Chains A and B, each alone.
Chain A
Amino acid sequence: MDRATAAAPEQEPEPRREAIRVENLHKSFGSLEVLKGVDLTAQQGDVVAIIGGSGSGKSTMLRCINFLETPSSGKIVIGGEEVAMRADGSPANQKQIERIRTKLAMVFQQFNLWTHRTLLENVIEVPVHVLKMPKPQAIERARELLARVGLGGKEDTFPAYLSGGQQQRAAIARALAVDPSAMLFDEPTSALDPELVGEVLTVIRDLAAEGRTMLLVTHEMKFAREVANHVVYLYQGRIEEQGPPAEVFGNPQSERLKQFLSSVG
């Protein structure tokens, strides 16, 4: 909360700083072109919801941003710094991409908590072993974060003993532990039982209210409409339509988006 209120006055005179910029992003898997030139910009504090049918390339786009997928061509700029790319699209400078990745925390559809470590160990892993934070400090912070996502008291539990919703909240705590400048959510509730979706969305909603920069690939249209300040609709690897949620959902222009919205209810 402090962040948002403290940052607000500065935002008035000059434009907000750019967090993520994607330019003319292409990605092919073999002969299949999944992304056909996508442009996207997220300012700091933006919550961008990316929607679209399956196979529209939304997850691939998100994964190209931190180079979990190698783009075929295009340009990725994170916090004003362009990621150096080789001709084949792979990161040219391993050190640079590792440094940039530490600022972009990702939350996966399948949670991907490290199964051989307890929740606390999961949360302190990157701060201690990548960011070289002193361990006691990392532990203290991890306890706060776990408590914040409603997992206080579960520090010493292994992921396998938790429900999907709990695992995903722990994964969010793990992402917050690196103090990311932007968070990438890749369908964070798609693998959850319906009754567990709410608890995860509540946590994400709090983060949005806090002014965190987020890119959110989601199938939860109601949720996207509620938390996002910008919605992007992808269709077959292109941005078909984008704008403020009220317009994209309330007054869709393209036929495909209209169809998509009516099909997902």
Chain B
Amino acid sequence: MISLKELAQPHRIVMMVLFALFVLWCAISLRWDWIPKYAPLALEGLWTTIWILAVSTFLGFLLAIPLGLTQAIGPWYLSVPARTFCTIIRGTPLLLQIWLLYYGLGSLFPQFPWIRSSELWPYLRQAWPYAVTALTLSYAGYEGEVMRGAFSSVAKGQLEAAKSFGMPRFTMFRRIWLPQAIGNVLPTLGGETILQLKATPLVATITVVEIYSVSSRVRSDTFIVYEPLLLLALVYMVIAGLIGLAFKRFENRLPDRS
């Protein structure tokens, strides 16, 4: 934590005054009268952004574990597909992946009667499953690579000790290997999750109504350009800050390693 004394440095005070003036100027001379009308929609959009982010990072991370593990120690018939997957995901634009899923796969599905008549059809007709899938696969691709390094970086002796006490392989993975691997890359994962947050506006292009698309709606309805964008920037900054704080707290609970 920064102490009060550090905050009271002259250059810091100048910056803070400038920032306060900027906020004041924004509040006084910009138009905010559209907010009450769009607030309900904005809240809905905010919620969509948050749950899409949460679900895609969670599922993506679950996928990243086997992707990383197979690349670290798997036989070639598992590690090669995993590496190929990560390379393709990391080598192509996320926007393209979202469109390929939504416009490509999404337009193939209706041609099969058995899909149209299936229980899943009501969901497959909507846009969000494609958005969540694309974001999940993207996060899995990037984090699969991170986890590969994470698994390899756990000291061999740590696993050898577990082995020497007769710990079954899955217990060893769950109790020793995975927690140490995650601990090693926690700062990276925090940064990647913030990147994932900033990738979510792309799903607006396939009609998912999240917070960015609400700001676009305000702009096209009212021709007010800057105010919604400024507020949008603030919203993303706050979410990113909260993610950063959450990871920071998590990191602080981990012990130092020798």
Interface residues of A (CB under 8 A from B): 66, 68, 94, 97-106, 108, 110, 112-116, 118, 125-126, 129-130, 158-161, 178, 184
Inter-chain contact B161/A108, CB cutoff 8 Å: yes
8 Å CB contact of B254 from A97, A110, A116, A129: A116
Count: A-B pairs, CB below 8 Å: 77
CA gap between A158 and B255 in the complex, in Å? 7
Shortest Cβ-Cβ A-B pairs, 10 listed: A101-B166, A158-B255, A102-B166, A112-B161, A160-B258, A112-B157, A106-B164, A98-B166, A126-B165, A160-B256
Inter-chain contact A126/B167, CB cutoff 8 Å: yes
B194 at the interface (CB under 8 A from A): no
Interface residues of B (CB under 8 A from A): 155, 157-158, 160-169, 171, 175-176, 179-180, 183, 254-258
A-B contact pairs, 26 of them (CB 8 A): A66-B164, A68-B160, A68-B163, A94-B169, A98-B168, A102-B165, A106-B164, A110-B157, A113-B161, A114-B161, A114-B176, A115-B158, A115-B257, A115-B258, A116-B179, A116-B255, A116-B257, A129-B167, A129-B171, A130-B167, A130-B168, A130-B171, A158-B255, A158-B256, A160-B258, A178-B165
Q: Shortest distance in angstroms between B221's beta carbon and chain A's nearest beta carbon?
A: 53
Q: Is the interface of B mostly helix, strand, loop or mixed?
A: helix
CB-CB < 8 A to B257: which residues of A?
115-116, 160
CB-CB < 8 A to A101: which residues of B?
163-166
Q: Shortest distance in angstroms between A111's beta carbon and chain B's nearest beta carbon?
A: 8
8 Å CB contact of B165 from A105, A116, A159, A161: A105
Inter-chain contact B157/A108, CB cutoff 8 Å: yes
Other A-B pairs, 16, CB within 8 Å; known A68-B164, A115-B255, A130-B166: A68-B163, A94-B169, A101-B163, A101-B166, A105-B165, A106-B164, A108-B161, A110-B157, A114-B162, A116-B180, A116-B255, A126-B165, A126-B167, A130-B167, A130-B168, A161-B255
Which residue of A is nearest B161, CB measured? Answer: A112
8 Å CB contact of B175 from A106, A129, A158: A129
Q: Shortest distance in angstroms between B164's beta carbon and chain A's nearest beta carbon?
A: 4
CA gap between A159 and B255 in the complex, in Å? 9
CA gap between A66 and B160 in the complex, in Å? 11
Q: Shortest distance in angstroms between B160's beta carbon and chain A's nearest beta carbon?
A: 6
Q: Shortest distance in angstroms between B28's beta carbon and chain A's nearest beta carbon?
A: 52
Q: Shortest distance in angstroms between B40's beta carbon and chain A's nearest beta carbon?
A: 45
CA gap between A126 and B257 in the complex, in Å? 21
CA gap between A97 and B254 in the complex, in Å? 33
CB-CB < 8 A to B165: which residues of A?
101-102, 105-106, 126, 130, 178
CA gap between A158 and B180 in the complex, in Å? 14
CB-CB < 8 A to B258: which residues of A?
115, 159-160
**Which of A97, A129, A160, A184 has the most CB atoms of chain B within a 10 A radius of its CB?**
A129
CA gap between A119 and B156 in the complex, in Å? 19
Inter-chain contact A115/B180, CB cutoff 8 Å: yes
Q: Shortest distance in angstroms between B189's beta carbon and chain A's nearest beta carbon?
A: 16
Which residue of A is nearest B258, CB measured? Answer: A160
CA gap between A60 and B175 in the complex, in Å? 27
CB-CB < 8 A to B169: which residues of A?
94
CA gap between A83 and B163 in the complex, in Å? 16
CA gap between A105 and B163 in the complex, in Å? 10
Which residue of B is nearest A162, CB measured? Answer: B258
Inter-chain contact B167/A99, CB cutoff 8 Å: no
CB-CB < 8 A to A129: which residues of B?
167, 171, 175
CB-CB < 8 A to B175: which residues of A?
125, 129
Which residue of A is nearest B180, CB measured? Answer: A116
CA gap between A137 and B44 in the complex, in Å? 51
CA gap between A108 and B254 in the complex, in Å? 24
CB-CB < 8 A to B179: which residues of A?
116
Q: Shortest distance in angstroms between B94's beta carbon and chain A's nearest beta carbon?
A: 33
Which residue of B is nearest A118, CB measured? Answer: B255
Q: Shortest distance in angstroms between B159's beta carbon and chain A's nearest beta carbon?
A: 9
CB-CB < 8 A to B168: which residues of A?
98, 130
